[in-house]
Structures are given as structure tokens and as C-alpha cells.
Structure 1
Amino acid sequence: MFALWSVNFLFLVSAEATNTLDMTSGSGESAPLSVEVCVKSSWTLEVRWTEHQNSTNSAQIYQVQIGRSENFNIVAQGNVSKEAGVRFVSWVWTSALPLQCADHSVRIRRIPGSWTDWTTHYGQQNISANRSRLFPTEEVLQEGSTVFFCCIPPDGARVTALHFSNTPYPLINISHRVRAIRVLRLNTTRMGVNLSCQDDLGNERRRVKLRHLVCFYKGSNERWVFLVPPEKPKNLSCETRNLKSIVCSWTPGRECNLSSVRRRRYTLHILNADGVIFPCDKKPSSCEFPVLPDLIFYNISVVVKNSLGEERESYAFNITHRVFPVLEDMAVIPGALHAEVYWTLDGNFTGLQLMCQISMEPINTTTEVQCVGVECVRNLRVRVQQLQPSSQYSTRGRCAVQHNSWSSWSTAYTFSTEPLVTLDVWRKLEENHHSRRIRVLWRTFSSSSHSTIEAYEVCVQQQDESRVCVNVTETQAEFTVRDGVCDVSVRALTHTGLSLPSSITVPVLNTDPTPKQKRIVGSADGFLLIWSELSSATCGYTLEWCMMGNLGPCDLQWRKVSANQTSLFLSANELRVGCRYTFNIYSCHSDGHLIHERHIGYLKEQSVYSVTVDDPHCKTVTVEGLRESQRYTLRLAACTKAGCGTESVCAVTTLPKYYMLVVKVVTPLLLLIGCCWCLWSYRNTVRGIVVDVFIFPKHHNMKMMELDDDVYKVSKEIGALEVEECESCDVEIMEQEVHMHFRSSIPTQIMRS
């Protein structure tokens, strides 16, 4: 890794500083050398010199020396050869100590020959400053290398200590002011590293490297960048989603957040395609390139470079073995008990056989579908069954080429199934010789209270006839059909569409066998109905009865059970005591429902009266012991030695007992008379109580009406005639005594003469 510091304002040279000196040899030679010293970086010096025109035609060996500080301590020496005909010669030297820490001088001589004068590149140790300066700066440091750090103290101070990562290092004397340290195997940690310099004036200068490679000291513009040499890409693999482009990915190792100049650069080379190269600039861990026409087998190499070197990793694959299709545009059309899942695949899968899996949660089921070639690009669909209504599910999918590994699962898609509306359908038949009247009835059940039924669609299909459908809003419908087999189906229309149809088959006319009748007796809890099993009843049994029994109009009820059930309990809450119930038990077959048994009885056992008439010529009989106001069913049958014939049924209601009515009326009257007789001796007391309750209080003044004055005033108001104005001769008013038996008001008799 590298530590990068910003440019220090104390630099004396630019990116390339040049010192030039034209000198002759010390022996008086007539061919002088023109020497230049160029600074390439904080560690690198390039020495250039130009041979005299007269010496160009011959080969020459030169000796170069590097001297440090003002004492010209020799720190490097080397020989440089020049071929004949070459005039310009250069030599590059890399210093272990940053060039800013001390003066570095260069001299050259021909072998044999005398040295030129020293040509010096000056450091920053003699530049006045009020704080310590640390070097190198703005340079790249290779992790794991050995690095010298130096400190130049402010004027008048002396360096006393240098610490790297909080560890003190022994000081190396560079000059009378400059001190340095040598750090071996330079490394960084997650917590970072720091470099600090202390002097005898109590000043301390610190540079801090923070986490993740870039480090800086707050308040200064100096920073380091530690650069890691390129690492060989690991876990290199390639795949394609659509056979249009290929994506290769790898593990890059540690990476610095460096600028574009110093960062690692990746390129992908297809070795078996004339060395086609694709740059990998978008991501440091993957590279995408188009599929090459007619190329199935790929031999690739990923190359990574930076300023410290180069690494590469190779990989070979068959593209048909690295296809991992990805589901796109997934959509779901839910029903009540199923869901239609749709998706598309974008790619060129010609000649390949694909398989796709659709998973459904939380039921943890997986459904597979296959396609070949261009079929895989169109909209693909799978129907997922056995879902619960009004429930939430999530689905996702993945695909694979046959015999290849599966691709990754797609993003989950969440949806809710629709409410389930089911219908329980039954029928009531009224038959004659050539036609039948069918009354279709149904009950509705919904899995959601928010489901609203708008109408019902009822369809009737007779043999050799077209299907007839009608829409109704009630829960029953009537049809007239012929004597053949008839299929009836009913569907509910809701805001989400039509529900699943519920069907029933009406058998051929007059195919019902004579049912077996059975007399039953209920209990206080209800009826327990048990019937014989019928092996041909493949689709169960249906029980039918009227809610009010044999009384009044029939409110038809029914209950369906499975084929392996031969009993059913009906609660007394649904029945009435005293009603005679007839339960028709139908067996369900492929060609319709046929009567199987008929059970007759009362919820509570009632008395049965049996009267035998021995005289066959007798036409009347009296049945004794019946209760009043009670409905009875009379059954009359003629019997011979061979048995009794068909019964005639008649329902009658007994009359009430009138003497009981008289008793009910007279009894309260007698009680009232008895009470009056008992209270007669206390009549005065009772009368006083009555007077006190009903008479006006004594303190109220009551003014009696003055009849004469009031009548006179009224007669004036209505303009009544005076006596002398009447045409009659004599008017005589007579008062008659009022008798107690009169119930009318007091009569007035007017006699005219």
C-alpha cells in the first residue's frame, strides 16, 4: 500500500528539476562534459550528460558518484557504458532516503580520466520553517518494503524522537539537523498507522494514517497512500444469462481507494480469439463482454496491473455449460384455489432445453415447466394448484439449462388469492308423463365476508340440445325439461368474476325405484337417521325434508354427505315438536340422484290409535280418547288375508271442549262475587277510602253553575226566539222521575197543544 501526501510548499524543485554544469576534465582535456541532474521523484535522480562532438565516434566508460550532505559522503557509485556514435548518456539512481532530507551531489569522470565538479540537488534542510517537516510526501510506498522517514526540525531546534505507529525507532543522523528512521516491512492495520516527530523545544509533528489506506493529519494537507502490489484474481468464473453477453467475476483481494492514475487496471483477454481484449473499468471484481459469434469454447485471461507490477489468472469454459437464465417480468393472476404465474426469459436459447421451477410460500411447493429453444423466450406460464382462498402467498422462480446447475432465485412476488364462493345445489321435481318441472335451489358459502354476489348464472343442458343459461338474483330457478337426462350448473357472479360451477344431474323420467320406508322416532335432541349402504352410490347421499314437516307449504331443506357415510344427526333446534317429518334419502350416481330410502316420524313419539272394524259393510267409526284442538292424521286401509292395501290419508283437527270454556269464564265471576260478599261488612270504611281518593279536596272552592243566567247569555249569542215570538200557544215543561233501569240520559217530554 502507498501513503500519499499533498505537495509541500517547501519544495525547491518541480516534478522534474534540472541542474546543468559544463565542465572540462581536471587533466586539461579539450573535450568537456555537459552534466544535468534531474529529479524524477522524492527518491529518484536522473543524471544526463552530453559527450563532446569530437568523442562521439568512440565507445566510452564513465564512472558516476553520488555524494550526500555538504560533506559529499559517497552513498552510491556506478559505471555507465556508451557505445560508439552515441552522444547523449543518462543514468538513473534511486535513493533510500527521500531527496528532501539532504543535499545530493553528482560527479562524473571518463575512465580513465578526472572527475568533474560536483553538481548538487539541494534538499530542504536549510530552508527556514517554524515547524517540523516530515518526508516523504506525495509519494507511493509499497506495502512490505523498507522505507526511510526523516524529520527536519524548525530553526534552532533539534530532533529528539521519531515514532512510527506509536513505536519509537532509533535515530539516524543525516546531517547536523536532520534525523531519520528506517522502517522494515511497511504494513498497515485496520486501526491505521501514524508518524510523529518530537524536538527539544517541545514541539511535536504528527501525521496520522486512518483506516482503509488513505491517511491524513487534520490541519495539514499531507497524506500517505499505501499501495499493494497487484494480486492474482481468485475464484475466477464466467457465466451468461441470455447467451448475448458473458460476465466474468473474481475476487480482487485488497484494493486501495486510489485515484485513476495509481489504481489497479483490469483487462480481459480472449486467448483463442486472436487476443481480443476487453477493458474492465466499471467494476474491480467483474467484467462483461459480448458473446463472440460461433465461439463455444472460451479460453480467457484476466490481467491486473498497477505501478508495482502485473498479475494474471486464466480460465476456460464451454459457454453452453455456463448458461443461467434469469426470470423477468414475473406476474401472477390469482384465483380462489389456484394461481397463474407468468414470466419471460430474455435471451437466445436456440437449441437448448430449459427447465424452470416456481416455488410457492408458505406452502413450500415447487412446480416445474420445460421449454425448448424459442419457446423459452415467449411468455411462460404455470398453474399452481391447491391454494387456500383469501390467503397471502409469495412466489419466485429460477431456470436452468438441462443438466446444468440452477440459476439464482428471482425476487419474491407477493399476491393474495381471491375469496372462494361455493354453491350447494339441489333440485325438486314435479313430474308428469311427458315433461318435468325442475325447481333448482342452492345455498351460498364464501371464504370472505367482503365478497358480494351480484347475480347467479344457471345453465341447463338437455340431451341433444344446446345449453340454455339465465341470470337470476334469487337463490332458486325453475325450468321445464323433457324426460331425458338433464345437467344443471350454477355459478355465482362476484366482482372478481364467476365462481367455480356447482352441478347436479337430473335422471331420466320415472327412473326412481320404490323407496324403502322406515318409521323413526326422534328424541329431545333430534333425529338420528341411519340408512343402508349402497355400493353404486359413488358420489354420496343427499337427505331432503321440509322444515315444517307435513304442515303448511314446504320450505325444502337438504343435507349432503359423502359416499362412505350412512348416518346423519339432525338437531332438534332445526325441527318442530308435533310435526310429522318425511326424510327422503337420495343416492348419488353418475346419471343423477335416485331415491334410496324414506324415513317417516315425529321428533317426539306421540300416541298411536288403532281401531279395527270387522264389518266390511261399515262405513263409519268413532275414535275415542283424542285430545281437543289437536291435529291428527288418519290412515284407512282395507285388509284381506293377503294383507292390507293402499292407505287413504286424511288430516283432521279435533274440536275444543265448550264446557271447559264455561268453567274458564264462570270461575273469575264467582271469585269476584265472593270478594264483594267478604267486604260488605266493611262497606263504610271502603266508601270513605273511595271518597277520599276520588272527591275534590275541601280547600278548593267550587262555583256552581247559575243555569238561568248562563242560558240567557247563550240564547243572546245564538239569537234564540223570545217566548212571545214563538208561534205555538202554550209551552209546558214537565219533569219526570228518573228510574234506575234507564241507561240513557234524562228524557224531556215536549207536549204541543
Structure 2
Amino acid sequence: MRSCTSTEMIYYWTNILIFIIISEHVKRCHSSDNISVPDIVKLRALDMWRMEMKMNMTEEHRNQTYEIQVGRTKNMYIIDRMSLNAVADTVIWTSQMPLNCTDHSVRIRHISDNPTLGSWSAWKTHYGDKNLSQDVKMYPKNQVLKEGSTLLFCCIYSEDAHITDMFFNNTKYKVIIISSRVKAIRVENINATNLYGVSFNCSKDSSEEALNFVTFPPEKLHCIRCETTDVRNITCTWKVRRAPNLGGSRKRMYRLLIRDSEAVNCSLKNRHLVSCSFPVIQQQVTYNITLLVTNSLGREREHYIFNITDTVFPLPERSEVTAGVLDAVMDLQLNGSFRGLCIICQIEVEPGGMTQELQMNGSDSFQHFIFEIQKLQPSMRYTTRGRCATQDNDWGRWTPSRAFLTGPLVTVDVWRQIRNGPVRTVTLLWHTVKSHPEVYIEAYEVCKNHTDPQSDKCINVTQTRVDLPVDVHVCDFTVRAVSQTGLSVPSQITIPSAYTEAVMNEKRIVGNAEGFQLSWTRSSSSTCDYTVEWCMLGVACSLQWRKVPVNQTYLSLEAEYFRPGVRYTFTVYWCNAEGHRPHEKHIGYLEEQKPTQCPTLDPHPSVTWSSVTLKWSFDEDDPNHNAFITGYEITVQRDLDSDISQSSHRQMINKPHSKSFTFSDLEEDRSYTFHLSACSSAGCGQETSTTITTRKNYYLLSAKILVLLLVLVSCCICLCYCQKILREIPEEFNFLHLKALDLDEDLYEASEKIRTFKIEECHWCDVEVLDVHHHTMIQNTWLTDAEDLSHPFITYKVPVPSFLTPSYQLTTGIWDSQTTDLTNFTYVSSEQQDLSDKMFETDGKVQEAKTSGFISDYVTSVAF
């Protein structure tokens, strides 16, 4: 009974407890359903790290507290949660892992102070990248990261992968498994990188890597200063505590914004100073500017207001110093728009700390502040600098220091001449320049220097030259002037080794009215001044020289030191620590003149009946010439001619080294006069003449006689040969000896009546001769129907008895009235013979002979 009762009691209280729990749960559900949750309308990635959540927020949702959860991957692992007092309808969440690595989901619910919580909204997901290729995708890549942040770096594989280690900046990190295909590492407190960034690898053996760059946000601007040095442009600067570490497209950008004007880009002047300039705005005194610094991590800005009159600090554009012996002149050059301002400039000279000031009214043009510096020491080195300011303003910046050297009281310019022989000798020559008229030079000290100064050997001379023996090695000499004030600054010259071979380029030059303009090629071996020496050739040499700075390859020499018509040679020497060596040689005249010397003709020229070869001798390279010889002129004149212009010929020879010339096509046995002269660019000089007679052409006369003899002999041979041929002609060809026909008057009248052709009207006649044999017939040619245009003459062949003789006589008065065709009975045979009619049948017409005893030849015309 007790056991049953206890069991029932347990069951009873259990049911009551379940009922209470269910009732509470139902109550909570009903309570929660009364509070609505805003919907997440849109979820998008702003960049690789930030995700924007946009909610449908109504008025009842505002000023409420909500809880947002962020889940990762398909399994919705909660990686972040946050509370939100809803005011705006947009929330931005920043991830430690790139959003490309995997899926990120967001949901929201209402929370309050009471224990009753609202229900969660549905998950809204932003999907990560899906790797469909064989290559591994790595994130982040080529990104600018913030220094000191903690980030996750991931690798996305195309298939399941088992990776244990990944590397960041060549350091191994433990792998975090995001999913079967996504692995990541966690890097804390990332340090700033250099320009080349930091690498990230998915494995140690992988050749693929992702580079990223770590920097820091812009810092607050400080030490802002704006000033103008010329009142034309304003320059603003500010200091940078920490120099930027990135460049290129990732570098920090600096800009200056001016109200009512365009923005100005600024640049980093050095690692800790930013500078930007903009032109002065006319009629504007007060400037309100904004300085802006930005990079991919953020921006900083600063406002600055200034008055332009308080920022004027003039800075001289140039400073020049001209030094004398006991004084110097310094010129500060100011360039700007300083009209209406009072400018004060100051210089400082060291050693001694001497200062001077000058005050001038400003202008809009170039201004020179000239300072005269007095009481300086000769041969002393000084430095000077200058600065300027406007009235009531601080001094501007100092100009760079300019060093200058005051001149010596006496200057010695030394040169040398070297003669190589059995005993090598050097002649030292020098000029002295006195800087003060009261300086008196007592002597000159010439020293041969050695490595040990105590071994130097010195001599005193009173002349400005001295001859000294030297060996074949390099040696140094110094020359100093000795005056009542002491020794001058030594002038040193180095004598080169005798083993040095000099190779010079030589060229010709011609001066002008102003003098000689020398120029030469630069020597790459020269380390000290060039020296140009010259001497007038052909006379006793008075050596002159001039020093030229090492960076200069030209020299102008005034015409007053030279004479026209005299050849000069200029030798250019280059210089280094081992002495002066010849570089180029220039030979020329200030002004060329006509040659005064004439060539010498060879007294034995080569003469033929048609040509003359002249030969002569002349030294075209003689330095005593008053011009460069460019060639020769030869004039040929035929003697005993009245017209000299027609009988003379002028020949120019443009080769000065040519010493012969041949004139051809001359007449035989004729006298010619030859005039020869040397020429220069100024013209031809004096002539030398000779008369030469060409030889007789005996060879031509002999040839003419021989030709005549050959012609006579040939004619005789031809006559004999023709006579022999005529003797061998057969007798039967004697009938060819034809005579002209004698036409009697009757025949002429008959011919006129029948209008036959006249003999002179006949164009031609064919005579055919055939062999005549007894009792045979020959073919005789008859010409008829001459009026047939297509056949001018039709030949009819009629058999003729062989007993007919070839001799014919003219017959008149024989006419046949029955003849139907008009026939010219010009030739009638002298022998009568009865012939049958068939004998006269031809291919053309048949003529019947009615007259017995005669045989007629039918022709229309006959001509011989």
C-alpha cells in the first residue's frame, strides 16, 4: 500500500512539473511572437574584408536592441556576435578572413533586458569563391593590409586536400581547417613591409605565392608652414613623423585644397617633409587652405589660414663673386614681384665674420644687390653667402656658400720645350703678371721637386727662361717670383717621360679678320688644362702659349698678334698627372696671299710631233710660302698667231704634289710657249716660261708615200688582170658590141603616126643571150602588152630559127593594112625566110604574118 502510494506520488509530481515546463514554454513562445524582427533585405561585400547588411527597419524596430550572429561555412559555425541598438538600417561587419575564402551567413533577433528573447531571422548568406581550376586560389592577394592587425590567410583547392603547414613571410604556421577544400592560417600583429611586400605560400614547395603590402593609416599633420620667396608662387610644407613605406599605386597621396580654386598635388620632398606649390592669386591677401593626406587605409586633413604679407622671405636666385687681389665684389640677384615692399639683403664673409647689409625698394624686375668687400689678403681663400628679408619679417634662408680665392700679387705662367738628344734638355719659359704696380720682382726661384721635399734642388735666375738637363723619367719643376713682399704662389709643370709616344692629328686652318678660331676634339685622358702653343714657321721661333680649361675645347686668338701671309703652327697639348702630351696640330695662315715663288721647269721636256710633257720642281710644303699651294696653272700659247685669245689654252692642275703634265693634239713642227705658275686660294703667283717646238712627223710622210706606192702597184695588177680576162672571151660574144641605132626620117615619121614609144621613154630593156646551135631553136623574149598594170611586161617566147643572125637593120615602109593589132616594126630581120604560122603561136595573141618573106619581132618598146 505504501509502495503504491509513493509511486503514485512520484508520477503525480512528475506530471505537474512537465505541465509547468510546457506552460512556461508556451508562454514564452506567445510572448516572443509578439515582438517582430527586421528582415535582412540585402547582404553584399564592400571589399575583400567588409560585408554590408541592409535591413528593412520600421519605426517600431528603431531604438531596439538586437543581436546579430555571423556564421561561417555551410555548417554555420558562429564566428562573431554583436549587439546593435538599431538606429540606421545598414550595418557593416569587418571580417578577419577574406570573404572570398568561404561562405558567410548572418541572422538577427530581438533582445531586451527581460529574459524573454525574440526568435532568430532566417540566415542570409554571402557565398565565397568556388575553385573550378587546377590552380590553388590564395586570399588575400595584392592587398594593402593594416599594420598590427590579426588576419586569416586562406588557400582554396579544387578538390579535397590534406595540408598541415602554410607559410607567411617564410615562416611556418599551423593550418586551420575551414572545410575540406579551404585551409587557412592565422597571423597576428602584422608588421609593416617595404616596397616589395610580404609573401604568402600554401606549401613550402609551391612556386606560387601571393604578395601583400602592410602599411599604416595617415598621421595627423604638424609643423605646417607656407611661404613665398618671389611673391609669384606660394610653397606650403609640413613634416611627416613617420615616412611612408609604400610606393607606386599604393603610395600615400598628398593634396592641397584652396577655396575657390583647383586642388594642387603635393610631393614628398624628402622622407620627412612634404611640399606643394601653387601660384599667387592676384589681389588676394588671406588664404584658407586644406591639406589632405590619404591612402588605402584612411585619410587625414588639416585646415590652415595665413596672410601672404607675413610669408614673404626673399631668396636670391643667384650669387656671383669676382675676386681681385685685395678685394672682391659679390652680386646677389633677386628675381620676383616685390613692388611695394622694402627688401634688405645681407652677406657674410669668412674667415673673419665680416657682414654687410644693403636696403632697396622692391620691384617686379631683376634686382642686383652689389657688395664691395675690402681689406682682403692676396692669395687667400674666402667663403661668402647671402640672405634677404622684407621689413618687419624674419630673414630668409642663406644662399649656398661661395668660395673664392684672391689673386696673388705676382702670377707666373710656366711652359716648357723638350729637346731629345744624346742629352735630354728641357727649356722652361714663363710669363709674369703683376697685380700691383708697385711690386718689384728681384729674381725667380726654379726648383726641381723630388719625393722628399728636403731633396729639392733650387736655383735663382733673373731671366724668364732657363735650360736644364733632365733624365728620361717623369719630373716636376716649380717656378716662383721673388719680390719685396716675399715669394709668389708656385707655378708647377710636369715633364713627361721620354718613352711616351705622341700621336697627333694634323689639320689645316685659315683665319679671318678677327683672328684664329681654334677647336679640337676632347681628350678622354685629360685631367687638367689644355695648353695651346704656336710659333711662326720659317723664321726664328718665338714660342707663345695659352692655357685653356679642361672642359673647354676651343680658343680664340686675336688677329693683332699675327701677320698675314705667314704660316703658323698651333700644337694642342692635353694634360694629366704625368705631364703634357701633344694632342692635335693645326697649321694655317691668318690671311693667304698669292705665291711669290715660281716653279722651276725641267730644261729637257719630253717632245714628240704631237705632244709635249712638261716637268718641273717645286717645294709646295715649304713653310716660307705665304699660302697653302693648291695646284698649278699652265698657259699654252701658239707662236706667230695674230689672235692670241684663239691660240692660247689655260690648264689648271689641282694636285699640288703633281710635277708633270702632258699636252697632246699639238701641231707638228710648231713652236709653243708654256707659262707655269703656282696657285693658292688667293690666286696664282709669278710665272716661269719656256718655248718648245714640236718635231716633224716623218712617220706620217713615209706612210703617205708608202700608201701611194701601194695604190699604183694595185692598179697595175688590176689592169693586167683585166686584160688577161678580155683575151679569154669567146668570139661568139662579139655581137654584144652594140651600136646606137640610127633612126632615119621615115622611121621616125612612121613611129610618130602610130604613136609608139620613143626610145627615151623606154624604161628598160631585157636582152637575153642564149647559146645558138645549128638546126636548133633559141628562146627569144618578146615584150608586149606593157599597158597591163598588173604585169608591166608580158614575155612571149617564140621559137626562132638558129640560122637567124643577131644583126638587125631598121626597115621602113613595111605595113600590113590587114593587121588587126598595132605593131611596132622597129626591127626587121635582113634575111627572108618562110616560116609557118605555128611558129608564131604564143600563150597570148597570135599574129598572122600577111607579108611573105619577113619575120617581125613584136615589141612595144625597146631601150638600151
Under TM normalisation by the shorter chain, which class is it?
Answer: 0.3 to 0.5
Higher RCO, 1 vs 2 (CA within 8 Å, ≥6 residues apart): 1
TM-score by length of 1: 0.41
